[in-house]
Structure 1
């Protein structure tokens, strides 16, 4: 029998899911009537990430499109990064609301925009949503990376994997740690249960800050045979 607190969490998650489907839509930024979470007037105002001004490997900005110093000396396990936006206001508030205030209906529109900015010539063979640990998934009720990845898979007609990459360490929240601790925190956090020999893969997530989580996931995918791992994120920190 479920504990009372767990039953309460499940009921809360069910209600949030129901409301996300049936509630009338309005723009989260200006409250104007909108069929999507963001109206067409607000989209152009969002802070864009620009590939031409960023490190092609980690997405760090202000490198004029060249590899940053960190990627030249100690490159991450992933090979390329694409981001739709910079992780500044109002994007940071949108993502925080989606993850921690159960406004997950914000995520698919952001994923659809991410799908639009990834170039045709860099298309992977498959998409993999960065997983949460099962305990974190039960707590939150959804995986933000999956909600972002679904419209991308549909628009690009790519297979989406949501359970082959598994998070086996219930790590400390990355946001609570400094940069060095984030990399230590993620060591050995992921395993991949399939065979990726000769495959090009894109990992989908909401935000890249240090890149530690995506690096740990990319290591697991390359151990499974992937020849290239791209990181596709809604937002990259400046």
Structure 2
């Protein structure tokens, strides 16, 4: 399986078309990734280091060009107040430290969504996101990586990459994530063998 998941037909077919040219993720949103991500988002910010290590070990390809910066997907003020930390920013900082890539923290902001993304289909997600994000930083490196913890339909990345491309027509955009959950006819095929064989005790 190619490291760039856009070269994997089931993944490319399941994602909303965007302006990103590559997708890197550890595997599908299933055990053990789903358990770690859930714990990471619900009171265990220290798991950013574990997830970053997994991303670098299982998802990243040393043959791929490094981006000039990592752009963590913005969170809403409501979610930040609820969790008391920005989980994607923590993850970006951890991955950036391991790969020696800077993180742009305030490149975009997120307002309130009219409806919960989890309850919507692909086109509805895109419509819902249209007014949700505002680009704050337009002076960016020629290659960037949008980072999210989990990619579902790819609607968020499609929206953000469209904004970036409008402001920087020549920019190259990668999409990074810990897990991915689009249409999957053979879920086991995407989970790296090293993770399938892993029997790590999940943190309490």
If the length of structure 1 is used for normalisation, what is the TM-score? 0.66
Partners of 1:176 and 1:199 in 2: CA distance: 35
Aligned twin of 1:88: 30
Partners of 1:68 and 1:118 in 2: CA distance: 18
- 1:128 matched to 2:79: no
Q: Is contact 1:129-1:203 (8 Å) kept?
A: yes
Q: Could you tell me which of 81, 88, 113 is aligned with 2:54? A: 113
Count of residues in Structure 1 that have an aligned counterpart in Structure 2? 179
Unaligned runs of at least 5 residues, structure 2 = 185-204
Q: Could you tell me which of 35, 43, 61 is aligned with 1:102? A: 43
Q: Is contact 2:3-2:61 (8 Å) kept?
A: no
Q: Is contact 2:33-2:178 (8 Å) kept?
A: no
Question: Radius of gyration: which is bigger?
Answer: 1
- 1:168 matched to 2:119: no
Aligned twin of 2:19: 77
Partners of 1:54 and 1:161 in 2: CA distance: 24
- 1:207 matched to 2:150: yes
The CA RMSD over aligned residues, in Å, is 2.5
Task: Give structure 1 regions of 4+ aligned residues with deviation exceeding 6 angstroms.
Answer: none
Partners of 1:91 and 1:236 in 2: CA distance: 10
Q: Which has the higher contact order (CA 8 A, sep 6+)?
A: 2
Aligned twin of 2:173: 229
Unaligned runs of at least 5 residues, structure 1 = 1-49
If the length of structure 2 is used for normalisation, what is the TM-score? 0.76
Partners of 2:14 and 2:31 in 1: CA distance: 26
Aligned twin of 1:182: 125
